[in-house]
Amino acid sequence: MDIKELTTNILKQEFSDLLIDIRYWGPHEDEDLDVDVVLKEGPIDLDEKEDKIYHYLREQGFDVLFDYQFKDNSTEISKIGVKELTEKLIQQEFGE
């Protein structure tokens, strides 16, 4: 099984009904593959699922970098830091 197929299978297993799209990039110098994962919403246990997926793929000998994006009410919000997310929400709410 190749790296894309393995990655697709575990993402479908972990996120099933939340999964909208998977986009692959690479390989790159430092990673075997970069993956953009688009979900309907962020699951409560995202950190736990991220760790499980990452460690499983490492055990298989692959170094895969993930970026998670969430679609909520037709607005795409990338997984970013708390400060950036707060600033973005303030701008949307107050136009500042």
64-76: pLDDT as tens digits: 999 999 886 444 5
Taking residues 21-49, report their average pLDDT.
Answer: 90
Q: What DSSP element (H or E) covers 51?
A: helix 46-59
In this structure, which amino acid lies at residue 76?
E
pTM higher than 0.75, yes or no?
no
Q: Which residues contact 9 (CB under 8 A, 6 or more apart)?
A: 1
User: In CATH, which of 3.30.450, 3.10.450, 3.30.70, 3.30.1890 is domain 3-94?
Assistant: 3.30.70
Under the banding of pLDDT at 50, 70 and 90, the label for residue 27 is confident
User: Tell me, what's the pLDDT at 93?
Assistant: 74
| CA 47 to chain centroid | 10
Q: Indicate the domain borders of the chain.
A: 3-94
Looking at residue 74, its pLDDT comes to 45
